[in-house]
Structure 1
Amino acid sequence: MNPNIRLSQGEKVLGTEYTILDFWQWGFYNILTNNLRGIFAEFLVASALGTVNQSRIEWEAYDLIYKDKKIEVKSAAYIQAWYSGKPSKISFSIGHKKEFDYETNKYSPDAKRNADIYVFCLMKEKDPTIINPQDTSQWEFYIVPTTKLNDTFPQQKTLTLRSLQKVAEPVLYLDIIKVIGGFC
């Protein structure tokens, strides 16, 4: 199978009676898990930018490209799949990372923030009885150019919500393209 071919829900898993949709429903049913929420946040940003036709590359140094800008998407939520009765503290990873070059099969010598823009996606709902990751009104998006992160938080590895709110205002899903477009 070519790794760049998109699967469709009706495709059969060869040698079984199941389809790719069955696999997706079995393995990816709970968007509140940390890894799937992060991927879903990337999807939300890609859908807002009209770039869902780009294939997602798991270990790329950034998550999306819009026009000529590399975008890193981070997510956090008050309610987790393993909800313990009180909301989680919100923080986002912003540490410097080495970029992997797929052509040379090597990491860059220097660690840095490899994207041009960061989009911090907060699943803001705190009521576990109504939380719905598929409802974009339950999300806030904070969009920050990497230059601002580098100037304000040059060596920080994590960013609390309070610190983030000092450098960015939350925007709605429908405003993501307008704000990011302003940086392009």
Structure 2
Amino acid sequence: MTHGLPLPDGWLAPAALAPLDGSEVFRGGDAGSVLDFWRYAMPDLRTNTTRGLLAEFLVHRAVGATTRNQEWESFDVPAPGGLRIEVKTSAYLQVWGQRALSRIQFSRLRGRVWTPEEGTAAEPSYNADVYVFALHTALSHADYDPLDVAQWSFYVTSRADVANGRDSAGLATVRRLCGDPVGYRELAGRISAV
């Protein structure tokens, strides 16, 4: 099944897997556990890719989502009730040395939809109902704590506000579109309000 729909006859369907808890061990050699893999794959929550996943996780938790999106889906968080949420992240600090704080930019606002049945769409589109722009606000490496949700500011708006042909937006544009940011505790309410 794909997206809860049956696949056409003759298609190879992936089996459902139980969620992992980290204690599972790799078989056939001394390769360690799933937790060992997680430590290898994501040892630093500040890297660009992992920071994006962390922001998606925070939005997922804030809205009470019970399922994770499929990796190929054209949005990040499937909220209860069917709301599709796209999460974009940026930060002033990176995990490498820098001469100055990074310019805040949120990119890839549009994406090409992909489905197993149809492949990749010819044109990019805006594919979420709500857009969350998650900004990690730490301004010094000494203060940067990826586990402190208070260091995130969340700007929230609807697809209608984003969908004007733009592929990216700087912080000034995001502020104009979204208004004041909210903290983690207010995030679910802001998403509902949009």
Q: Normalising by the residue count of structure 1, what TM-score does the alignment of the two structures yield?
A: 0.90
Whether the 8 Å CA contact 1:4–1:55 is kept in 2: the answer is no
Give the number of the structure whose alpha-carbon radius of gyration is greater. 2
Name the CA distance, whole Å, in 1 between partners of 2:182 and 2:139: 18
Name the CA distance, whole Å, in 2 between partners of 1:62 and 1:68: 12
**CA deviation after TM superposition for structure 1 residue 59, in Å:** 2.2
Aligned residues: 178
**CA deviation after TM superposition for structure 1 residue 3, in Å:** 5.9
Whether the 8 Å CA contact 1:125–1:131 is kept in 2: the answer is yes
Question: When you count strand as a share of all residues, which structure comes out higher?
Answer: 1
Answering whether residue 41 of structure 2 is matched by residue 27 of structure 1, we say yes
Corresponding position of 2:50: 36
Name the CA distance, whole Å, in 2 between partners of 1:75 and 1:148: 18
Corresponding position of 1:135: 148
Whether the 8 Å CA contact 2:55–2:87 is kept in 1: the answer is yes
Whether the 8 Å CA contact 1:78–1:87 is kept in 2: the answer is yes
Corresponding position of 1:170: 181
**CA deviation after TM superposition for structure 1 residue 20, in Å:** 0.9
Which of the numbers 101, 118, 141 marks the counterpart of 2:131?
118
Gaps of 5+ in 2: 1-13
Cα RMSD (Å): 1.7
Name the CA distance, whole Å, in 2 between partners of 1:142 and 1:95: 14
Whether the 8 Å CA contact 2:136–2:151 is kept in 1: the answer is yes
**CA deviation after TM superposition for structure 1 residue 105, in Å:** 4.4
**CA deviation after TM superposition for structure 1 residue 68, in Å:** 2.0
State the percentage of identical aligned residues: 29
Name the CA distance, whole Å, in 2 between partners of 1:59 and 1:32: 23
Cα separation, partners in 2 of 1:156 and 1:68, compared to 1, 3 Å: same
Which of the numbers 133, 142, 157 marks the counterpart of 2:167?
157
Name the CA distance, whole Å, in 1 between partners of 2:97 and 2:131: 27
Gaps of 5+ in 1: none
Which of the numbers 90, 100, 116 marks the counterpart of 2:114?
100
Corresponding position of 1:182: 193
